[in-house]
Amino acid sequence: MVGVTHESPIKIIRDNPEVVAQLLEVAFGVKLNRTELTVRSASEACTQLAPIAYTADNVVQLCEGDAAEPTISVVAETQTTVDPAKHGSWPLYVASQWAKTRCPCYLVVIASKRRVADWARTPIELGHPDFVLKPLVLGPGKGAGTVPLVTTPRQAAEMPELAILGTLASVMPPTESSMEITHAALATIDNKNRELGKLYTGMVVSVLSDAAKKLLEDYVSAGTADFKFKHDPFIEYETRGLAKGEARGLAKGEAEAVLKVLAARGFSVADDVRERVLACEDTDQLDRWLVRAATADSSDELFG
């Protein structure tokens, strides 16, 4: 199932395709002509003659200099599991983009788990002599794409999305130093766009260990000499979580009250009725059931 780990890098690249150009240069040593570089998102759809459609996670086109048409295409994929089927679709993505643009096309895979990243780096041999696709993988392991993309808080402020991608891809160990860099990136984004900052902070928090999360929270709360959040997103998360917890606790109490009233009146409650009542978190609905439990002639009348 698609989740936060898969969707977060995709969201960052769609919000700011420029990060793909930074990624090619910093992680994989691709030389770009930065003079008047135009970066744009492109269609992720890849089609073939047979009635089957394939869709990549992201496609970004780079137009160097004064070129109107793309001079480089990049297919960016997030991979959370080992999936042999990708060895069929990834070459198709690259070939499809090459056919559309007739320019060099790169496949970049973001994989935060070592086992998945190592698998993704496996060359894909297509059978034709020298026709081999070697994905560029950002994630833990050895080789290109495995070292920190940003090494100082100042760099993180200049390329905040790249710093966050590095954190999500686990190419920075969760140390005090790396969390300071992540904090600088998040604070930079948050202070420019609070809603985007909250979203990206949530992405990062969802993948960090408890120890790393505590380090980041300390930086967010105290700030540093150069970087500080204008508000504390962790307080918002905690408050939101507390409110949800209180609501669930209230609903659970009302659900138990419904069952206790039925039991006190001597009614036998079937398992499916019990499960439905206990699963309900709508306090208004539980209020109605509580009234019915006190007046109904049997538990079967509870749901009306």
- Residues of 159-168 as b/e, b for ≥16 C-beta within 10 angstroms? bbbbbbbbbb
Cβ-proximal residues to 71 (8 Å cutoff; 6+ apart), any chain:
33, 62, 63, 64, 65, 103, 104
Q: What is the pLDDT of residues 58-109, one digit of tens each?
A: 899 999 888 889 999 999 999 999 999 999 999 999 999 999 999 999 999 9
Q: What is the pLDDT of residues 196-210, one digit of tens each?
A: 888 888 888 888 888
Q: How many helices (H) and strands (E) does the chain have?
A: 12, 9
What CA dihedral angle connects 141, 145, 146 and 152, to 10 degrees? -170
* Amino acid at residue number 131: F
CA distance 173 to 279: 40
The whole-number average pLDDT for the span 1-22 is 82
pTM tops 0.85 = no
Q: What is the pLDDT of residues 208-232, one digit of tens each?
A: 888 888 888 888 777 777 787 766 6
CA distance 127 to 131: 7
Question: Do 94 and 100 meet the contact criterion of CB atoms below 8 Å apart?
Answer: no
pLDDT at 247: 54
**Positive or negative: CA dihedral 30, 34, 38, 40:** positive
pLDDT at 112: 92
Q: Where are the beta strands (DSSP E) in the chain?
A: 38-41, 45-47, 53-55, 58-63, 72-78, 105-110, 124-125, 132-133, 136-138
> For all residues of the chain together, what is the average pLDDT?
83
In this predicted structure, the answer to whether residue 41 has a pLDDT above a threshold of 80 is yes
pLDDT at 51: 41
Q: What is the pLDDT of residues 141-200, one digit of tens each?
A: 999 999 999 999 999 999 999 999 999 999 988 899 999 999 999 999 988 888 888 888
